[in-house]
Copies of this chain bind each other. A is one copy, B any other.
Amino acid sequence: MEISIGELSRRTGVKVPTIRYYESIALMPLPLRSDGQQRRYGGAEVSRLIFIRHARELGFEVDAIRELLAMSARPEQPCAEADRIARRHMTEVDRRISQLVALRAELQRMVDECGHGRVGDCRVIETLADHDQCQHAHH
């Protein structure tokens, strides 16, 4: 099986320039080339790129994906490391969720309190301007 970069893109849902970008940062390996220097891929690349896309959708950073890919290449190793990466990531996700839930509540309040008055009375502005009235999540 020899497919072009466009076909690889179609099969994985990763855009063509993004694939080339992944190659440039060595997240994807240097592919074979046709006589006319066009990239040619096989099944291994399809799998690898699906793995990458999936991990990116889950919010893993490229460095974390590199680690995960390195691990999957050595299946005899214990997987504690993969577990650690996933756990670290989950902690971060929890933090983001709680921040967003707090934010959501505040936006709701802002919209609720913004009757049909004028900006002078509008809580959207006030809520954001007032430092003391709204103490919430700091990073």
Contacts and interface: CB of A to CB of B under 8 A. Distances in A.
Interface of A: 13, 47, 50-51, 54-55, 57-59, 68, 71-72, 74-80, 82-83, 85-87, 89-90, 93-94, 96-97, 100-101, 103-104, 106-108, 110-111, 114, 116-122, 124-125, 127-129, 131, 134, 136-139
Q: Is the interface of A mostly helix, strand, loop or mixed?
A: helix
12 contacts: A47-B129, A54-B129, A57-B137, A58-B107, A76-B119, A79-B117, A79-B122, A82-B119, A90-B107, A97-B100, A97-B101, A100-B100
Contacts of A68: 124-125, 128
Nearest to A11: B131
A103 B59 contact: yes
A111 B83 contact: yes
A100 B74 CA distance: 30
Contact of A77 (B54, B118, B128): B118
Nearest to A12: B131
Contacts of A138: 13, 57
A59 B85 CA distance: 26
A78 B121 CA distance: 9
A120 B94 CA distance: 28
Contacts of A71: 119, 122, 125
